Amino acid sequence: MVALNIVVGAALLFFGRRLFWLFVAGVGFVAGGLFATQLLAGQPEWVILAIALAVGVVCALLSVFLQRLLIGIAGFLAGGYIVYHLALTLNYPSYEWIGFIVGGIIGAVLVEVLFDWALIGLSGLVGAIVISANVPLDQALSAALFFVLLAVGIYAQAKQLRPKPIPS
Per-residue model confidence as pLDDT tens for the chain (168 residues)? 788 888 888 988 898 877 777 888 888 888 888 888 888 888 888 998 899 889 888 888 887 788 778 788 888 988 998 999 888 888 888 888 888 899 999 989 988 888 888 889 989 999 999 999 999 999 899 999 999 999 999 999 999 887 766 666
pTM equals 0.75
What does the pLDDT look like over 119-168, one tens digit per residue?
A: 899 899 999 999 999 999 998 999 999 999 999 999 999 998 877 666 66
- Category of 43 on φ-ψ map: left (φ > 0), alpha (ψ -120 to 50) or beta: beta
- The widest CA-to-CA distance across the chain, in whole angstroms, is 62
Between CA 30 and CA 66 the distance in angstroms is 20
The one-letter code for the residue type at 14 is F
- At 92, the amino acid letter reads Y
